[in-house]
């Protein structure tokens, strides 16, 4: 896989080495078991896959290239580059300004832009409508377009489905930047509707099967379907695509459910005429990170710590998995670990910060799970590990632990 030129301060002296050891020993990624870092007084279980993915590193490299090549020019990001506050703050510190927030609200009006300004398209991509607005101003929207190739793969799949007269169900959060972008591209090619989860899919299924009055469709899915979607005629051929950071297992569950609905309506013998197999739209990094997290859940541990931006969809899904089994703390950086007795962490269910006291496991040699989202630099995970490690006495040296890993794998 391509190597990207990203700032050295995002790399780490520990986590990056651990990843490299596992990669050398298991280049085909057949082993998803976690790495055990045994420091004597405390053990850490490090997920086999986590942190910066291809799309994130590509976006960071292009952004820094834009800064280097356009000294003296005004440089804008359409919205947050990725959902990580540290990375976005770094770019702002270098003079980049955000035109919109993550919900698409305008921070800087487009009418201040000129054709000489530089606008970077974030890794989530953007809508065709916004691209057209920028192009009319004269802004080159392709030169520094950092849209993840795996997001573009979903768009290409939607185009193919549309060409085959399928209507498209998008599994995603309809206000998320990526889903808004995918919905825009999909709607150009085919009637499209967004579902957040299996619960919403079951509601949609009731319309497909005629169990709900079609006159209620517009109100039920308000803001989630394309203008050209007519429920009277657009439920005959369906395909499912996704926001790439959603739970891969949930996307597959939704696709399998819709397929069975279409079997119920049209019969098993005719299913290929009414439902498209779209397993190829699932992002490799999302799959790998979630598979590694599922492997973590097979282990015995006393608590889990997940590092990442609080508006990061892929990070929240890792938390969602781990909290099913372990006390799980979702933090943005090591600074949230205030002391041996206090941690500030994000409750993703009520979208609020919380404080937990006496969070350290009350036992000798506890085991702590540690992982991060796809937009989190390894260096931040290093800092979290070192901060947790500093709360214990008589721990092994890092070099000795790394040597043990070399020998173990």
Determine how many CB atoms are found less than 10 A away from the CB of residue 259: 17
Q: Which residues contact 59 (CB under 8 A, 6 or more apart)?
A: 81, 82, 122, 123, 146, 148
DSSP code for 395: P
**274 to 154, 212, 230, 366: CA distances (angstroms):** 20, 20, 17, 53
Select from 373, 284, 304, 321 the least CA-distant residue to 83. Answer: 373
Q: How large is the angle between the packed helices 313-322 and 284-296, nearest 10 degrees?
A: 20
Across the beta sheet with 75-77, what order do the strands follow? 97-98, 75-77, 118-120
Q: CA-CA distance, 26 to 317, in Å (whole number)?
A: 25
Selecting among 178, 200, 250, 320, the annotated active-site residue is: 178
Residue pair 137/116 in contact (Cβ under 8 Å)? The answer is: no
Query: What are the residues facing 343 on neighbouring strands?
Result: 337, 356
Across the chain, how many H-helices and E-strands are there?
A: 13, 15
Using only C-alpha atoms, the chain has a radius of gyration, in whole angstroms, of 23
* Catalytic status, residue 354: no
Q: Quote the strand ranges of 223-351, DSSP E.
A: 238-242, 275-276, 303-307, 328-331, 337-339, 342-347
Helix (H) or strand (E) holding 194: strand 192-195
Which residues are known to be catalytic? 178
């Amino acid at each position: 896989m391509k190597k990207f030129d990203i700032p050295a301060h995002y790399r780490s002296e520990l986590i990056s080495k651990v990843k490299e050891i596992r990669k050398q020993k298991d280049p085909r990624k057949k082993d998803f078991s976690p790495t055990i870092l045994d420091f004597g007084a405390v053990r850490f279980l490090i997920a086999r896959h986590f942190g910066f993915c291809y799309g994130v590193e590509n976006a960071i490299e292009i952004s820094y290239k834009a800064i280097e090549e356009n000294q003296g020019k005004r440089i804008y990001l359409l919205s947050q580059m990725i959902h990580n506050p540290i990375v976005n703050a770094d770019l702002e510190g270098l003079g980049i300004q955000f035109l919109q927030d993550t919900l698409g609200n305008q921070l800087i009006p487009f009418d201040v832009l000129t054709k000489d300004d530089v606008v970077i398209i974030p890794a989530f991509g953007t809508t065709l409508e916004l691209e057209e607005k920028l192009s009319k101003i004269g802004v080159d929207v392709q030169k520094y377009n950092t849209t993840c190739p795996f997001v573009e793969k979903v768009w290409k799949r939607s185009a193919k489905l549309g060409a085959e007269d399928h209507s498209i169900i998008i599994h995603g959060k309809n206000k998320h930047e990526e889903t808004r972008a995918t919905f825009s591209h999909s709607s150009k090619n085919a009637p499209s509707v967004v579902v957040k989860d299996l619960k919403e899919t079951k509601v949609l299924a009731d319309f497909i099967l005629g169990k709900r009055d079609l006159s209620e469709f517009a109100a039920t899915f308000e803001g989630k379907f394309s203008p050209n979607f007519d429920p009277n005629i657009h439920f005959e051929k369906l395909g499912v695509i996704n926001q790439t950071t959603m739970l891969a297992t949930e996307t597959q569950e939704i696709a399998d459910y819709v397929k069975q609905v279409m079997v119920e309506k049209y019969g098993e013998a005719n299913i290929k005429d009414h439902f498209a197999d779209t397993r190829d739209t699932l992002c490799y990094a999302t799959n790998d990170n979630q598979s590694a997290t599922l492997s973590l859940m097979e282990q015995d541990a006393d608590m889990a710590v997940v590092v990442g931006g609080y508006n990061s969809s892929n990070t929240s899904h890792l938390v969602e998995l781990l909290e099913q089994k372990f006390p799980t703390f979702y933090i943005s950086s090591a600074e949230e670990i205030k002391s041996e007795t206090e941690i500030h962490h994000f409750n993703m269910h009520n979208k609020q910060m919380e404080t937990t006291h006496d969070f350290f496991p009350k036992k000798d040699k506890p085991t702590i799970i540690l992982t991060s989202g796809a937009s989190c630099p390894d260096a931040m995970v290093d800092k979290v590990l070192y901060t947790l490690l500093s709360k214990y006495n008589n721990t092994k040296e890092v070099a000795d632990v790394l040597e043990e890993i070399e020998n173990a794998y």
